[in-house]
Amino acid sequence: MPWYPLKLSFHVRNYAFGARLIPELLGKRGVPDGIVAETWEVSDYRDTSGTVINGALAGQTLHALTLAYPEELVGAGWHGPHFPLLTKFLDASHMLPVHLHADDETARRKYREPNGKTEAWHILWAKPGASVLAGIKPGLDEAALWQAFKRQDYDAVMPRFPIQAGDTVYVPGGVLHSFGPDTLIFEVQQTSDLGQTVMPTDLYGRPHPEEVWERNIRETMDELRTHYQPRPNPGLAVEDGANRRIVGCAGPHFALERWTLAQPHHEPAHPWRCLTLTNLGDPVTLSYQGGVEILDRAESCLLPAALGEVVVAPQGRGELLACYVPNLEQDIIAPLRRAGHSGEVIAGLGEVF
């Protein structure tokens, strides 16, 4: 198979918390009128599986390619029911629901799904004073949680943290969370859409009947995990000549890096893992053995594991987000230690150790 950088169609969701930040601040083209709360950039979740829109594989879905070529596309030795990463832009012009996603154990036991949803948010833009709610304050019993959820007093039970552009927040499955208003993020997550909410309304702002709301609260509390306390993190830098790589988060399911490129970056061959790229800046040229692709602002692509070396050359300001399933020791711990970062700060990136 002659592999090349794969561009995919994106999926739009018009939840009530969104507005028009994705086209207006990011400059994303091809979105519909009205609310654009999320654009799923690289997705293989059920009917949202992206379709290749460039090159010889145009018209094929990411799902079909993942099943047909698991090792060449995702990585040597990999097999699974779907592509393991889902990336999206998310507009929280209004506050997101307070909710959580099942962890892997709950997803398999309760929903008969292959995995849950650990996620991370990279803050692209936030109005001064913007914040996130994430985790549960220590020492609270179920009665205190229930009463706070019924009062819609989320600050009574959840820590609130200020955020700014460049921060990343790692949120394992089972951890309660929300953010917004006035926030624009990039999210990377496991391929799943399982979720439970304690809100009295649904994702489109429609009120739940009282019994549905209370059932949702009970289900959320049943899946709630307090083992991890998310914190906004500015990331850890690795200098590469005139270029800079900031590792924003890392765990067993994904890592997220932000690349700032002043000169061409040589991404070496790594047949054990693929890489998604999302462009936040000026267009970049992706040169590989078989040709060249241009990645425009607010576009994403997938570099298959079998692609080989790719040279990423900025045509101006190079700002990209790179996501992949890491070998934590090889891809995260060792290079960050060589860059002078301690084990304690590396651990703050997520579930690294």
Per the domain annotation, does 12 fall within a domain?
A: yes
Asked if residue 43 is part of any domain, the answer here is: yes
Of the candidates 111, 207, 231, the residue with the CA atom closest to the CA atom of residue 152: 207
- Is there a domain that residue 241 lies in? yes
| 47 domain-assigned | yes
Q: pLDDT tens, 246-287?
A: 999 999 999 999 999 999 999 999 999 999 999 999 999 999
Domain match, 108 and 213 both: yes
At 267, which CATH number?
2.60.120.10
- At residue 212, the pLDDT reads 98
pLDDT of residue 2: 92
CA distance 40 to 88: 4
> Same domain for 271 and 144?
no
Domain co-membership, 66 together with 199: yes
**Is residue 230 included in any domain, yes or no?**
no
Name 217's Cβ contacts closer than 8 Å, sequence gap at least 6.
146, 149, 150, 198
Considering the domain architecture, whether residues 112 and 183 belong to the same structural domain is answered as yes
pLDDT at position 136: 98
pTM above 0.95, yes or no: yes
| 279 and 199 co-located in one domain | no
Which of 223, 252, 272 is the last residue in one of the domains?
Answer: 223
Is there a single domain that holds both residue 157 and residue 22? yes
Question: What's the number of domains the chain is made of?
Answer: 2
The range of the structural domain enclosing residue 342 comes to 236-347
CA–CA dist 244, 258 (Å, integer): 8
Say if residue 175 is in the same domain as residue 211. yes
For 41, the 3-state DSSP assignment is strand
- For residues 244 and 173, membership in a common domain is answered with no
Question: pLDDT under 70 in the chain at which residues?
Answer: none
Per the domain annotation, does 353 fall within a domain?
no
1 occurs within a structural domain = no
Tokens read off for 123: 């803050």
